[in-house]
């Protein structure tokens, strides 16, 4: 199948053997059941209404694709929007390609490809489709990429979107932010910071480039803080906990150095000295 996917849906239809010499036929809409593997979940009501009005005037230009599952019964593989809009237009029949697919993973591939090539999926729906192929059908990222004519990196990046906090995923679905925003946000790692930046993007109407600059500055500041932690950081913490004061160990290039013990008063100094004596008193 992989050799056909890059050639478009026409090649796929022919490879699976459609009915009536690859031409479409009209089938009863009431005989079609939904595709359980449909990757697209969000359907804009206004867009459906507009498509429905177009169908009333011009008919269904691009046939849907189905597979036969019994006597006069068909399962939808691709064309959910056209089917919904046709129902809304009160059509009784719809043009369809009937192809021979029995494997669930192949149905998922087909539905994904149809939606991706028509640019119908939002990034989260696309990622969820890849996740089903990966998790349920054991496809590698490279295999998915080959099947949908995208790079392996692109597939992996889309799958990473599923690690975003729910509020950000919902924002991406609703186009509150773009895919580029979401990719930049992922580099922040912590959910609380991700959500904070997500809200800032919306409130300040930051574009993708502005978001990348903002997040780069956040990550750079974090790296500076991490670099300031000396190789003796754990020892500093241990001494601080014991002496109950701030400790700094200075040792350039791990050679000879010094320990700086901070104290706020003479009383605190005496307490520190007593603790040191007690610790090392034989």
- CA contacts within 13 A on the Cβ side of 244: 9
80 is catalytic: yes
Distance CA 206, CA 159 (A): 24
> Tokens representing 108?
């998922």
* Pair 22, 14: CB distance under 8 Å: yes
- Measured distance CA(254)–CA(206) in Å, rounded: 44
Catalytic site residue from 53, 80, 125, 154:
80
Question: How far, in Å, are 110, 119, 165 from residue 147 at the CA level?
Answer: 9, 16, 28
CA–CA separation, 60 and 28 (whole Å): 14
In angstroms, rounded to a whole number, what is the distance separating the alpha carbons of residues 108 and 126? 11
Q: Is 148 helix (H, G, I), strand (E, B) or coil?
A: coil
Q: Which of 122, 72, 125 is nearest to 96 (CA)?
A: 72
Query: Which residue numbers are catalytic?
Result: 80
């Amino acid at each position: 199948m992989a050799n056909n996917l890059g050639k478009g849906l026409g090649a796929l239809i022919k490879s699976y053997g459609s009915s009536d010499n690859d031409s479409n036929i009209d089938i009863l809409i009431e005989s079609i059941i939904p595709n359980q593997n449909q990757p697209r979940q969000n359907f804009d009501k206004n867009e459906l209404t507009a498509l429905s009005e177009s169908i009333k005037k011009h008919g269904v230009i691009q046939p849907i694709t189905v597979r036969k599952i019994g006597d006069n019964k068909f399962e939808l593989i691709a064309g959910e929007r056209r089917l919904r809009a046709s129902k809304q237009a009160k059509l009784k029949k719809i043009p369809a390609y009937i192809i021979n697919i029995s494997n669930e993973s192949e149905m998922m591939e087909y539905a994904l490809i149809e939606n991706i090539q028509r640019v119908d999926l939002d990034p989260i729906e696309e990622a969820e489709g890849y996740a089903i192929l990966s998790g349920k059908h054991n496809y590698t990222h490279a295999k998915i990429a080959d099947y949908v004519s995208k790079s392996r990196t692109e597939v992996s990046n889309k799958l990473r979107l599923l690690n975003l906090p729910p509020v950000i995923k919902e924002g991406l679905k609703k186009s509150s932010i773009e895919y580029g925003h979401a990719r930049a946000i992922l580099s922040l790692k912590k959910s609380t910071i991700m959500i904070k930046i997500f809200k800032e993007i919306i409130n300040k109407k930051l574009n993708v480039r502005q978001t990348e600059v903002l997040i780069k500055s956040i990550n750079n500041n974090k790296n500076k803080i991490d670099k300031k932690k000396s190789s003796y950081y754990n020892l500093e913490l241990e001494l601080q906990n014991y002496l109950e004061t701030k400790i700094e160990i200075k040792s350039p290039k791990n050679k000879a150095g010094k320990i700086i013990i901070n104290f706020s008063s003479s009383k605190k100094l005496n307490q520190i000295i007593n603790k040191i004596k007690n610790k090392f008193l034989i």
